[in-house]
Amino acid sequence: MSDRIYTLPIEQTKWKVPSGNTTVFTWDYDEGSDRLLSLYEKGKAKQWNASDRIDWSIEVDLDSPDLVPDEYVPIFGSRLWDRLGTEDRQRVKQHVTSWQFSQFLHGEQGALICASKIVQTVPDLDAKFYAATQVVDEARHVEVFSRYLREKVGFAYPINRSLQALLDDTIQDSRWDLTYLGMQVLIEGLALAGFGVTRDQTREPLARALNAYVMQDEARHVAFGRLALREYYKELTSAELADREEFCVEACYLLRDRFLGEEIWEHLDLAPAEAVAHINGSEAFQLFRSLLFTRIVPTLKDIGMMGPKVQRAFAEMDVLGYQDIDLEAVMAYDEEAADAIDAQRIAQVKTTIDVGAGAGADA
């Protein structure tokens, strides 16, 4: 990407984070855990090439009013929104799209860095094996979101401040389980719910396909985090667990605030304080924001991270009810949704070939 497509010059947004890793070697090459090794097998078998699986020739119409439904624009219903004409509203929708995909993109780069960090820091070889497949998955996710922004949207936003703060905390911490907790469970958990909203609500076929395919990979990543942490957290003292709980609470508040979109209102000079005040008070937006916790809450419960502090924070955020969501069923649906898009694409290609053959026979 060139500077041309960034809302801020990339020179201004360069970021380096010190990370006090301890690199762990192991000389124990014996067979590892069956469940981790079967996840590693699945990780290898389910690799895909973004250049072939996604039809990049699909045109994205940035002027279509369907690009983002009105209700999905965070300032929809405000006096600010009411004052805007049709053209300005469309411009806001384009910026909301760019901002959203930009945050997905930056989060994916965070995941790429964290997955490679896990390869270094996790003690067991089976986990290093699996994490190595995830490194390739995350590189592919960075590839698809950056290509979508570059070729279809045409401009990108820098990383959101709340997301950056959480990435900073996650990467700087030298404890391997904190990388899992911050990245695999919290940041990816929230991203998954966000991808799900795009996959299920957008009428734009390219965005739907790439979100569905990324989600199919992410289901494995979340399974990896759950497997590794569930066992490890059983061994920790109550003081060590309380420390992790505190991290989760702080992270969840940062994640909740990541969707205010301040960067958009600042960039478009749309009364940022008024916009944020509207968003914070909007009932529709509260509901959308709480939906973003549908993956995080049951996962934290599953790994034994639902102590009093976390429960209190979730009750305050009105998301505690999500703890009983059946994660296996939700992830099975993520698999099916991607397979359904594949089936549709293959059927379309077959129809094109049949029509071509029919035309050839007629000639």
Given the rule CB under 5 A, which residues bind Fe ion?
108, 111, 138, 141, 188, 218, 221
- Shortest distance, CB of residue 80 to Fe ion, whole angstroms? 33
CB of residue 108 to Fe ion, shortest distance in Å: 5
CB 65 within 8 A of CB 87: no
Nearest to 110 by CA among 48, 187, 215: 187
Q: Which lies closer to Fe ion via its Cβ, residue 75 or residue 183?
A: 183
User: Nearer to Fe ion by C-beta: 95 or 221?
Assistant: 221
Structure tokens of 208?
């739907």
List the Cα angle 10/11/13 in 5-degree steps: 65
What is the C-alpha to C-alpha distance for residues 102 and 112, in angstroms, rounded to an integer? 15
Indicate the residue among 126 and 188 with the shorter CB distance to Fe ion. Answer: 188
By beta-carbon proximity to Fe ion, the closer residue of 42 and 309 is 42
CA atoms of 211 and 199, how far apart (whole Å) = 6
As measured in angstroms, the least distance from the Cβ of 190 to Fe ion is 12
Asked if residues 111 and 225 have their Cβ atoms less than 8 Å apart, the reply is no
User: Please, what is the minimum distance in Å from the beta carbon of residue 320 to Fe ion?
Assistant: 25
Which amino acid is located at 324 in the chain?
D
List all residues 6 or more positions away from 288 whose beta carbon is below 8 Å from its beta carbon: 72, 197, 259
Least distance in angstroms from the C-beta of 142 to Fe ion? 8
126 or 137: whose CB is closer to Fe ion? 137
Task: For Fe ion, give the closer residue by CB, 92 or 215.
Answer: 215
d(CA 277, CA 256): 15
CB of 293 to Fe ion, least distance (A): 18
Q: At 255, give phi and psi (nearest 5°).
A: -65, -40
State the residue for tokens 């490679």.
Answer: 116
